[in-house]
A and B are shown apart, each in its own frame.
Chain A
Amino acid sequence: MFKASWTTSPKKFKNLYDENREYIRTAIYWMVRDDGVDDIVQEVFIKAWKSRDSFKGDSHVKTWLYRIAMNCSKDYLSKRNRLRDLYGESDEEARVEEGGLIESRELINIGLKVLSPELREKFILHYKLGLTTKEIGEVLQIPEGTVKSQLSKARELFSKALEKEKVMS
């Protein structure tokens, strides 16, 4: 039976954490775009440890971690959206900051906001993290064709939102 070395002790698991934390953090941050990222990163690695027996080694550990990260991020987004429906959007989120780099950040936020969590994960994995459509299919365990069509839809929605914003400003 396959057993990866990192599954044997918390000390060895730290190596896995050290090797993967950067891109996992990036993936989560781009999914949620707020300061909930720290809690989600912790949650991902705790879940990875607790479900280590389910890692069979038939996929790369990076793919497996991406899958956990995407699921945790989507759970977080669902909760956040439910809270926003109840209490409305926070002032912090609605605030438009000044300055060149922040302007592009705001622009990205506007584009991402129109994407559902399902579309957003494909968009981020492809355009930010550079995964191919085939790799995204492996991460999310869906056919490559589905990835391609959803990616195309995400790109269209993102572009439209940005164009609309440019016209309005």
Chain B
Amino acid sequence: MNDNEIKKLLESDHSEPKVPKDEWSKIEREISPAKPSWILSLGGTFAVCLVLVLFNNKFKSPSLSLSFQERENVVSYLFDNVGFEEVEEGSLEEEPLSL
């Protein structure tokens, strides 16, 4: 075969595949500067801490730190209202409650 015959034969083949639509985006993903990993890990740590704080605020038990006056009020309330009717007579004398 001479040069022209070869060229003609090669020209007769139009089977070349088309350019995929997302080709550039795939290349761009590879060549764009990646964020440093320490930024990502810092972000992740911050997010975890934030979630823990929010979770704690939402579900934490009510504070039990009371002032002296409040504790006195609570004890008075308990003495006045809660189940001392069932306490046997004499037991209070033997073991007096100390506050």
Contacts and interface: CB of A to CB of B under 8 A. Distances in A.
B96 interface: no
Contacts of A77: none
Instruction: Classify the interface of chain A: helix, strand, loop or mixed.
Output: helix
B83 interface: no
A30 B7 CA distance: 13
Interface string A7-46: 0001001100100011001100110000101100110011
A128 B12 CA distance: 11
What band does the interface of chain A fall in when counting residues whose beta carbon is under 8 Å from B? 20 to 34
B6 A155 contact: yes
A17 B24 contact: yes
Interface in A90-104: 101-102, 104
A164 interface: no
Contacts of B3: 127, 155
B12 A101 contact: yes
Contacts of A102: 15
A104 B31 contact: no
Contact of A107 (B9, B14, B26, B30): B9
Contacts of B7: 127
A162 B17 contact: no
B62 interface: no
B20 interface: yes
A128 B24 contact: no
Interface string A47-82: 001100000000000000000000000000000000
Interface of B: 1, 3, 6-7, 9-10, 12-17, 19-20, 23-24, 26-28, 30-32
Given A10-B31, A105-B13, 15 more contacts: A10-B32, A14-B24, A14-B28, A17-B24, A29-B17, A38-B20, A38-B23, A42-B27, A46-B27, A49-B27, A105-B15, A127-B3, A127-B7, A127-B10, A128-B10
